[in-house]
């Protein structure tokens, strides 16, 4: 048993949920920003709902006064403890006037109201989800308290941009202070405090408009610093596409007259869906062909859509408590994935979503930080913005949607919006609305409650006399410590049978595996078919089917489902690389199948062809190794297979590369596919030492039409340690010195390089452009570095990594804790690394104080 440190933070449990004693009807906020502090006055109209005291939350606030119903309260009327302010014996209707002082200028945690940027680019923004509002003023800061907000902002005129949620109702000069001005915003919608936002800045704005299906004219605005305003149109277009998409696919129209997006360079997460005033990490909104890779640009569009979709799934219907986070995030991720699938090849979209799920969520579910999609307890809710809540949460909604089919799913979502609009609800409410046409949907609740990735194993028998194929499937989920013994879950397994001779489809069925073991019989099957399972990844499970390698090669050739073609390559690769886990396949079948498929597919669907060459990252492979993980061995095996692929097709890379000529930039699926494949082919050619490939890289860099081409070439040069790599790194830096997001790429390509050493990381941290206060920059070095396990899991690598966590623990615990999660799998390492990691993490635990980081270290 780990010894519990004396300052062990306390847990909050779902089962202890209680409704608030008081509701808030209206809030008037008056935020006055001064040189080195801000004064926040709030007036709350509160009404009793049930018995109990008034409980307000507040952190890092200097309380100046509280007045209740015109009477100043003194310390005998209330108690202040652990971030909670309890007011005793309050009457049933209360007007509270609260005055506090805060210091946004020194707020490095980037929660609440904080200062971002520097010099002329200084700005003030908020991040309130999940519990940041309590850093602005005392408030019943919980998602089931909804109120109407009016916000007055006052600041020096050198910050001309004053924004808050809703509609601008008044603006002007401050009497007696000609250098100051103010603006008053009113939000007509009832909202929880986590959706509050305001911005005090000097920004340029790109404007556009959209007329909703209900005939509302909406003003659309994207705010960014003037140097970035030319990179806002991709996001603006995505916003309009998303608005339209939600009307067509869910019947949901926008409900305010104004929709604002603000880009900020210092932000802990990707973006935030504050009502009518989204705040975005610059990395998730700015995009231009010259500065942004295709992959990034695509994710900009997806994140814009994600935050927009929250307006219905999150804002109009919100979460009763933070345990229900997946209610809004899982559904909204499912919605943004569906939106993205309509913008490109749906197979590639599914491949990318599943690759992310397998690389990160499966790893989380296999490690000590495994938790249910709806957790039952937490110390710090910020630690639960995880890939399990988001991505596995989305997979559950997808299974439900596929089980119902499009028409009944739409009936269910319509019912959800009809029933719960304006309320703060639970996962049970969601399932109950979705089950109006099929009450079996309620059974999906166990997917929300049970951690661990189910393993579905299976085999088939063919009876030629009876002409039947019998498929036997069973499911097993590991028993995660601290949870009930796992139960069988409803697992939809999309199954297709292929005729072995002709490759034609013989049968197609959705099998529902909802017991531990089940058999499924297919009648009238004339000869033993090849079975393609889990098409489009119909459930978030690991599949072990007793395939012959030849069956998989057959499917790579004959499957018409692009996702499953990719899936069989991944199964083959796993069988080759996870030999230590009992897998045994020789690479021959895989290499031969690739050699046959690739040249044809390259001309046909370049993007899919690029994905077929995927080999899971070292971290992803590691997550399939429950114990004695040796990073060096895994890397050797992985690199070895990569080399074999490169060598196998050595004679073809030149032709492939030349058949993908560089053209002037175009943002079409086809052009993106060509660019993606060209970068993969370039790297393969360098790996195989193809004559002249180093020149291709330089040419590609020199003549690049966009960042995808330029950065692809640079990365290849760096990873293959080409003699000119340093010159090109210097050129890249000089060219893009003024653009932080591109300089992040410059840092990350070095920090993630194959030959990176702790010294390289130290010198990057010492670089004048490194900045501890900018999470994007920290991640571009520290996050990128963690993709090299052979360096990370050394005494020196770990020391550096844990020193970073120590350094960030106080300044920005959200960031520190997120970075730390990479180390969660320490206990699967082979000795002596395991012992070494344990020592360093134990030492770390003694040197940190934030409950964020302490909770992430609970299993040490
Ligand atoms: N709700 C945001 C989104 O997913 C994420 C905000 C999370 N912020 C945080 N500090 N954990 O769109
Ligand atoms: Zn979200």
Category of 646 on φ-ψ map: left (φ > 0), alpha (ψ -120 to 50) or beta: alpha
Residue 102 forms beta bridges with which residues? 38
The CA 387 to ligand 2 mean position distance, Å, reads: 11
At how many degrees (to 10) do helices 707-719 and 740-751 cross? 30
Please state the three-class secondary structure of 284-320 as a single string: HCCCCCCCCCHHHHHHHHHHHHHHHHCCCECCCEEEC
DSSP of 106-120: G-TT--EEEEES-GG
Ligand 1: atom nearest CA of 814 is: 10
12-282 folds as Immunoglobulin-like (2.60.40)
**pLDDT digits over 799-857, tens only?**
999 999 999 999 999 999 999 999 999 999 999 999 999 999 999 999 999 999 999 99
Residue 854's CB: how many other CB atoms inside 10 A?
Answer: 22
Ligand 1 pocket (Cβ < 6 Å) reads 127, 129, 268-269, 271-273, 306-307, 329, 382, 385, 814
Alpha-carbon distance of 748 to 265, in angstroms, equals 17
Nearest ligand by distance to the CA of 817: 1
User: What one-character DSSP code corresponds to residue 242?
Assistant: H
The CA 314 to ligand 1 mean position distance, Å, reads: 11
173 phi and psi, to 5 degrees? -90, 155
Residue 487's CB: how many other CB atoms inside 10 A?
Answer: 11
Ligand 1: atom nearest CA of 382 is: 11
Nearest ligand by distance to the CA of 279: 1
Candidate of 126, 195, 269, 278 to mutate for ligand 1, largest count of ligand atoms within 8 Å of Cβ: 269
Pairing verdict, β 455-463 and 542-545? parallel
Handedness of CA 212, 424, 361, 597 (dihedral sign): negative
Candidate of 112, 129, 326 to mutate for ligand 1, largest count of ligand atoms within 8 Å of Cβ: 129
Q: Which residue, by CA, sits nearest to atom 8 of ligand 1?
A: 129
Residue among 236, 191, 447, 248 nearest 330 (CA): 447
The CA 526 to ligand 2 mean position distance, Å, reads: 49
Residue 654's CB: how many other CB atoms inside 10 A?
Answer: 16
Q: In this structure, are residues 203 and 225 in contact, taking their beta carbons and an 8 Å threshold?
A: yes
Category of 405 on φ-ψ map: left (φ > 0), alpha (ψ -120 to 50) or beta: left
Residue 289's CB: how many other CB atoms inside 10 A?
Answer: 19
Name the 3-class secondary structure at 2: coil
Where in 598-673 does DSSP place strands (E)? none
Nearest ligand by distance to the CA of 330: 2
User: What one-character DSSP code corresponds to residue 647?
Assistant: H
The CA 108 to ligand 1 mean position distance, Å, reads: 17
Q: Which residue, by CA, sits nearest to atom 3 of ligand 1?
A: 272
Pairing verdict, β 177-186 and 62-68? unpaired
Residue count (the chain): 860
Q: What's the distance, Cα to Cα, between the start and end of the chain in Å? A: 10
Domain ranges across the chain: 12-282, 320-452
Ligand 1: atom nearest CA of 268 is: 10
The CA 211 to ligand 1 mean position distance, Å, reads: 28
Q: Which two tokens stand for residue 60?
A: 């890092």
Candidate of 274, 310, 385 to mutate for ligand 1, largest count of ligand atoms within 8 Å of Cβ: 385
Nearest ligand by distance to the CA of 383: 1
Query: What is the reported pLDDT for 508?
Result: 97
Place of tokens 């345990």: 323
12-282 and 320-452: identical CATH topology: no
User: In the chain, which residues have pLDDT < 70?
Assistant: 1-8, 580, 583
Catalytic option among 129, 307, 380, 709:
307
Angle at CA of residue 571, ends 566 and 574, nearest 5°: 125
DSSP of 206-223: EEEEEE-TT--EEEEEEE
Q: In this structure, are residues 376 and 17 in contact, taking their beta carbons and an 8 Å threshold?
A: no
Alpha-carbon distance of 830 to 836, in angstroms, equals 10
The CA 518 to ligand 1 mean position distance, Å, reads: 40
572 phi and psi, to 5 degrees? -60, -45
Nearest ligand by distance to the CA of 130: 1
Residue 485: burial class (beta carbons within 10 Å; 0-12, 13-18, 19+): exposed
Candidate of 272, 313, 394, 817 to mutate for ligand 1, largest count of ligand atoms within 8 Å of Cβ: 272
The CA 332 to ligand 2 mean position distance, Å, reads: 6
**pLDDT digits over 275-321, tens only?**
999 999 999 999 999 999 999 999 999 999 999 999 999 999 999 99
Q: Which residue, by CA, sits nearest to atom 11 of ligand 1?
A: 382
Q: In this structure, are residues 277 and 196 in contact, taking their beta carbons and an 8 Å threshold?
A: no
Residue 186 forms beta bridges with which residues? 150, 167
The CA 309 to ligand 1 mean position distance, Å, reads: 14
CA atoms within 13 A on the CB side of 301: 24
Encode burial over 665-678: b for 16+ CB neighbours within 10 A, e otherwise.
Answer: eeeeeebbbbbbbb
Ligand 1: atom nearest CA of 111 is: 10
CA torsion, ordered 163, 167, 172, 175, to nearest 10 deg: -90
Ligand 1: atom nearest CA of 271 is: 12
Which positions ≥6 away from 760 have C-beta within 8 Å?
A: 750, 751, 753
Q: In this structure, are residues 264 and 279 in contact, taking their beta carbons and an 8 Å threshold?
A: yes
Whether pTM exceeds 0.90: yes
Alpha-carbon distance of 235 to 672, in angstroms, equals 18
The CA 201 to ligand 1 mean position distance, Å, reads: 22
Residue 68's CB: how many other CB atoms inside 10 A?
Answer: 20
Q: Which residue, by CA, sits nearest to atom 5 of ligand 1?
A: 272
Residue among 309, 328, 308, 331 nearest 319 (CA): 328
Judge if the upstream peptide bond of residue 169 is cis by omega within 30 degrees of 0.
Answer: no
CATH code reported for the domain at 320-452: 1.10.390.10
Residue among 601, 558, 602, 593 nearest 575 (CA): 593
- Report residues near ion ligand 2: CB below 5 Å: 329, 332
Residue 19's CB: how many other CB atoms inside 10 A?
Answer: 11
Residue among 744, 749, 773, 750 nearest 762 (CA): 750
Where in 443-541 does DSSP place strands (E)? 455-463, 468-476, 491-498, 505-513, 517-522, 530-532
Angle at CA of residue 168, ends 166 and 170, nearest 5°: 145
Name the 3-class secondary structure at 164: strand
Alpha-carbon distance of 273 to 775, in angstroms, equals 19
ipTM summary value: 0.96
Alpha-carbon distance of 217 to 220, in angstroms, equals 10
Alpha-carbon distance of 643 to 714, in angstroms, equals 20
Query: What is the reported pLDDT for 8?
Result: 63
Residue among 483, 621, 501, 508 nearest 557 (CA): 501
Query: What is the reported pLDDT for 1?
Result: 39
Alpha-carbon distance of 392 to 552, in angstroms, equals 26
Residue 218 forms beta bridges with which residues? 210
307 is catalytic: yes
């Amino acid at each position: 048993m780990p010894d519990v440190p004396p300052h062990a933070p306390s847990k909050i449990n779902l089962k202890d949920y209680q409704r608030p004693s008081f509701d808030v009807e209206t809030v008037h906020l008056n935020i006055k920003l001064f040189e080195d502090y801000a004064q926040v006055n709030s007036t709350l109209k509160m009404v009793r709902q049930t018995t109990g005291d008034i409980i307000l939350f507040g952190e890092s606030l200097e309380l100046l006064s509280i007045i209740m119903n015109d009477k100043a309260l003194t310390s005998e009327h209330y108690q202040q403890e652990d971030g909670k302010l309890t007011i005793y014996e309050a009457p049933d209707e209360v007007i509270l006037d609260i005055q506090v002082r805060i210091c946004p200028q020194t707020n490095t945690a980037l929660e609440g109201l904080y200062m971002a940027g520097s010099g002329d680019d200084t700005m003030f923004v908020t991040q309130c989800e999940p519990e940041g509002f309590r850093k602005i003023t005392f408030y019943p800061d919980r998602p089931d308290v909804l109120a109407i907000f009016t916000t007055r902002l006052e600041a020096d005129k050198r910050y001309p941009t004053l924004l808050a949620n809703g509609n601008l109702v008044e603006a002007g000069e401050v009497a007696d202070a000609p250098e100051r001005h103010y603006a008053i915003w009113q939000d007509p919608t009832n909202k929880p405090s986590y959706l509050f936002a305001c911005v005090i800045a000097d920004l340029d704005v790109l404007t556009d408009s959209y007329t909703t299906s209900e005939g509302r004219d909406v003003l659309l605005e994207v705010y960014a610093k003037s140097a970035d305003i030319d990179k806002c149109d991709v996001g603006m277009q995505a916003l309009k596409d998303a608005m339209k998409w939600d009307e067509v696919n869910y019947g949901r129209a926008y409900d305010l007259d104004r929709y604002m997006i603000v880009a900020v360079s210092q932000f802990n997460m990707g973006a935030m869906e504050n009502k009518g005033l989204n705040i975005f990490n610059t990395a998730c909104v700015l995009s231009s062909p010259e500065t942004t890779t295709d992959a990034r640009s695509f994710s900009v569009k997806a994140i814009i859509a994600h935050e927009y979709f929250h307006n219905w799934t999150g804002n109009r219907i919100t979460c009763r408590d933070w345990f229900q986070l997946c209610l809004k995030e899982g559904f909204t991720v499912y919605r943004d994935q569906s939106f993205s699938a309509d913008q490109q090849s749906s197979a590639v979209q599914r491949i990318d979503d599943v690759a992310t799920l397998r690389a990160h969520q499966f790893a989380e579910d296999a490690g000590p930080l495994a938790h249910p999609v709806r957790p039952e307890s937490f110390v710090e809710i910020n630690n639960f913005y995880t890939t399990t809540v988001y991505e596995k949460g989305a997979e559950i909604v997808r299974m439900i949607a596929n089980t119902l089919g499009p028409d009944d799913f739409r009936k269910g979502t319509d019912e959800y919006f009809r029933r719960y609009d304006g309320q703060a609800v639970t996962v049970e409410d969601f399932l109950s609305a979705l089950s109006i046409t099929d009450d079996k949907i309620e059974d999906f609740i166990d997917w929300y409650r049970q951690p661990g990735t189910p393993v579905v194993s299976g085999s088939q028998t063919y009876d030629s006399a009876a002409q039947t194929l019998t498929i036997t499937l069973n499911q097993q989920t590991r028993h995660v410590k601290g949870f009930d013994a796992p139960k069988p879950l409803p697992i939809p397994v999309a199954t297709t049978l292929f005729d072995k001779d002709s490759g034609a489809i013989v049968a197609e069925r959705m099998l529902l595996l909802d017991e531990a073991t089940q058999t499924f019989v297919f009648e009238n099957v004339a000869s033993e078919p090849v079975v393609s399972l889990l098409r489009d990844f119909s459930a978030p499970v690991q599949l072990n089917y007793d395939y012959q390698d030849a069956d998989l090669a057959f499917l790579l050739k004959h499957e018409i489902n692009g996702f499953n073609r990719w899936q069989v390559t991944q199964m083959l690769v796993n069988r080759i690389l996870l030999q230590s886990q009992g897998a045994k396949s020789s690479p021959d079948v895989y290499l031969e199948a690739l050699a046959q498929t690739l040249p044809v597919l390259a001309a046909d669907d370049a993007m899919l062809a690029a994905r077929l060459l995927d080999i899971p990252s070292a971290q992803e492979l590691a997550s399939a190794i429950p114990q004695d993980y040796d990073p060096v061995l895994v890397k050797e095996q992985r690199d070895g297979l990569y080399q074999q692929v490169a060598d196998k097709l050595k004679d073809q890379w030149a032709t492939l590369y030349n058949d993908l000529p560089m053209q002037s930039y175009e943002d079409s699926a086809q052009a993106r596919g060509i660019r993606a494949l060209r970068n993969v082919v370039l790297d393969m050619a360098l790996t195989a030492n193809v004559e002249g490939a180093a020149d291709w890289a330089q040419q590609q860099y020199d003549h690049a039409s966009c960042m995808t081409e330029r950065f692809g070439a640079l990365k290849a040069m760096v990873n293959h340690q080409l003699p000119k790599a340093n010159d090109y790194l210097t050129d890249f830096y000089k060219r893009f010195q003024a653009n932080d997001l591109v300089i992040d790429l410059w840092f990350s390509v070095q920090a993630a390089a194959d030959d990176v050493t702790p010294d390289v990381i130290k010198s990057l941290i010492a670089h004048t452009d490194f900045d501890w206060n900018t999470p994007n920059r920290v991640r571009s070095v520290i996050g990128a570095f963690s993709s090299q396990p052979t360096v990370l899991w050394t005494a020196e690598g770990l020391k550096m990594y844990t020193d970073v966590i120590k350094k960030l623990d106080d300044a920005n615990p959200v960031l520190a804790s997120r970075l730390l999660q990479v180390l969660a799998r320490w206990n699967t390492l082979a000795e002596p690394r395991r012992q070494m990691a344990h020592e360093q993490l134990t030492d770390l635990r003694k040197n940190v104080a934030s409950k964020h980081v302490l909770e992430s270290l609970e299993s040490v």
